[in-house]
Amino acid sequence: MDAAISAQSDTRLRHGRASLAVSFFAQGTAFALLVTRIPALQDRYGVSDALLPAFLAAVPVLAGAGSLATEHLVRRVRPSVVLRWVQPVLYLALLAAGAGNALWQLAAALAVFGVCVGGLDASMNMLGVSLQRTYGRSIMLGFHAAYSLGGILGASLAWVGAHWHLSLLVLYSPVIVVVIPLVLVASRWYVDQEAVPAAEAAEAPPVVMKLLMPLCLVMAFAYIGDSTVSNWGAKYLKDTLHSSEQLSTVPYNVYMVTTLIGRSLGDFGVRRFGAVAVVRVGTVLAAGGFAVVAVAPGAWVGMLGFTMLGFGLCVIVPQTFAAAGRLFPGASDTAIARLNIFNYVGFLVGSPLVGGLGDAWSYRGAMVVPMLLVLVTLRYARSFAAEPARYGVGHERPRTADVGRAGNEL
């Protein structure tokens, strides 16, 4: 009887892990389809260059509001319920952005998209952290690898749309038809957080921003680095390192591919060496990448720097979410929702910070700023350590803990 119950639990967790990976993948695809076709949206709606930054800034601001709303919502309904119904709405908002004609329609679609992004990011990472807790070993990087893979697919589809001069409606419609049924079916197997033992909940501190703030800073600085690559990589390669137009499109693709590879392998590194060591190595690699980009004599050396950046930054964000879950095991959903806001803070700050410094000073000098900010992570690296009292000796709990209660390893 115990063996049968254990087998059922193992199967349930595997299905939960796979279904959540599908949602991360779908989220990455949707976000890439939006951000890579911003010029097409601008042309479709006649958005001026002066007005465009306001539209783009509204998305992360509303995403932050969506994350805050999710914090309160999950006190009434499970995170899986939020994720199940918000993800289809996000795709419908994407379709609406590609189908409208009036400026107010674009504003409304982006507003809904932004709020849904915040709800999705928060609820997906809540489920990911709770699944990792149940598994008893690092699996968060794998979920974010699925997001990176979705981003690569979305960017590739966007390239096809641009190459064949497809309208946004023609580009988005087939994706919507496939993805919405896919995520709704996958949502049947989401696994919510198990009840925290009473003794552990009693010992766990409530979410105090002073305790969470080191991780919030790490999150913001990581996304400043990420937004620097996505917003300024092509311009830097072309204008500063004098690459060709074609080569200038490569850094972001290289960054996404290295992010996918690093996250696909990162969980093994965490299990072997611990989260603190992996985050430290990632931080040094990312800072080194910015340094190489800043001093690069030519485009190919600059490409090496962007490659280092991808491998370095990719491990920091997933481990920051996981660390928040460990820090507040009795209130991990609240901690993750609040931490997630600093994702958007970094995204909002990064692009204008680097752009302003580049215009006022130099883009080479501007690359030093995200390098220094990312290095702050080294100061807070101990925040990624597991508490021995909660997770046992080492970097994660023993693999047999809490998985079917019968010592079966997944």
- Give the confidence band of 386 by pLDDT, cuts at 50, 70, 90: confident
The pLDDT of residue 198: 58
Domains and their CATH numbers in the chain: 1-194 (1.20.1250.20), 195-395 (1.20.1250.20)
The pLDDT of residue 266: 95
Which H, E and C letters describe the chain, residue by residue?
CHHHHHHHHHHHHHHHHHHHHHHHHHHHHHHHHHHCCHHHHHHHHCCCCCCHHHHHHHHHHHHHHHHHHHHHHCCCCCHHHHHHHHHHHHHHHHHHHHHCCCHHHHHHHHHHHHHHHHHHHHHHHHHHHHHHHHHCCCCHHHHHHHHHHHHHHHHHHHHHHHHCCCCHHHHHHHHHHHHHHHHHHHHHHCCCCCCCCHHHHHHCCCCCHHHHHHHHHHHHHHHHHHHHHHHHHHHHHHHHCCCCCCHHHHHHHHHHHHHHHHHHHHHHHHHHHCHHHHHHHHHHHHHHHHHHHHHCCCHHHHHHHHHHHHHHHCCHHHHHHHHHHHHCCCCHHHHHHHHHHHHHHHHHHHHHHHHHHHHHCCHHHHCHHHHHHHHHHHHCHHHHCCCHHHHCCCCCCCCCCCCCCCCCCC
pTM of the model: 0.88
- Give the confidence band of 332 by pLDDT, cuts at 50, 70, 90: very high
The pLDDT of residue 38: 87
The pLDDT of residue 389: 35
The pLDDT of residue 390: 39
- Give the confidence band of 387 by pLDDT, cuts at 50, 70, 90: low
Asked if residue 364 has pLDDT above 60, the reply is: yes
Provide Rg for the chain, Cα atoms.
Answer: 21
User: What average pLDDT does range 279-289 have in this prediction?
Assistant: 97
User: What average pLDDT does range 367-373 have in this prediction?
Assistant: 96
Give 202's contacts (C-beta < 8 A, 6+ positions apart): none
User: What average pLDDT does range 74-95 have in this prediction?
Assistant: 96
244 vs 267: CA distance, rounded Å = 37
The pLDDT of residue 39: 85
Asked if residue 2 has pLDDT above 80, the reply is: no
Encode pLDDT of 55-67 as tens digits.
888 999 999 999 9
The pLDDT of residue 54: 87
Asked if residue 300 has pLDDT above 60, the reply is: yes
Could you tell me the CA-to-CA distances from 82 to 85, 86, 337 in Å, in that order?
Answer: 6, 6, 13
- Give the confidence band of 403 by pLDDT, cuts at 50, 70, 90: very low
User: What average pLDDT does range 261-287 have in this prediction?
Assistant: 96
- Give the confidence band of 398 by pLDDT, cuts at 50, 70, 90: very low
- Give the confidence band of 196 by pLDDT, cuts at 50, 70, 90: low
Asked if residue 409 has pLDDT above 60, the reply is: no
Mean pLDDT, the chain, integer: 88
86 vs 80: CA distance, rounded Å = 10
Q: What is the identity of the amino acid at 2?
A: D
The pLDDT of residue 50: 84
Give 230's contacts (C-beta < 8 A, 6+ positions apart): 35, 252, 255
Q: How many CB atoms lie within 10 A of CB 208?
A: 12
Could you tell me the CA-to-CA distances from 84 to 92, 292, 346 in Å, in that order?
Answer: 14, 42, 27
User: What average pLDDT does range 348-352 have in this prediction?
Assistant: 90
Which has the closest alpha carbon to 264: 355, 370, 141?
A: 141
Of 151-160, 220-229, 260-269, the one with minimum mean pLDDT is: 151-160
User: What average pLDDT does range 155-162 have in this prediction?
Assistant: 88
Could you tell me the CA-to-CA distances from 351 to 227, 233, 337 in Å, in that order?
Answer: 6, 11, 23
- Give the confidence band of 105 by pLDDT, cuts at 50, 70, 90: very high
Residues 364, 368, 370, 374, CA torsion sign: positive
- Give the confidence band of 166 by pLDDT, cuts at 50, 70, 90: very high
70 vs 64: CA distance, rounded Å = 10
Of 17-26, 82-91, 160-169, 216-225, the one with minimum mean pLDDT is: 160-169
The pLDDT of residue 406: 31
Q: How many CB atoms lie within 10 A of CB 12?
A: 14
User: What average pLDDT does range 48-58 have in this prediction?
Assistant: 86
- Give the confidence band of 393 by pLDDT, cuts at 50, 70, 90: very low
The pLDDT of residue 231: 83
Could you tell me the CA-to-CA distances from 401 to 3, 13, 389 in Å, in that order?
Answer: 15, 13, 14
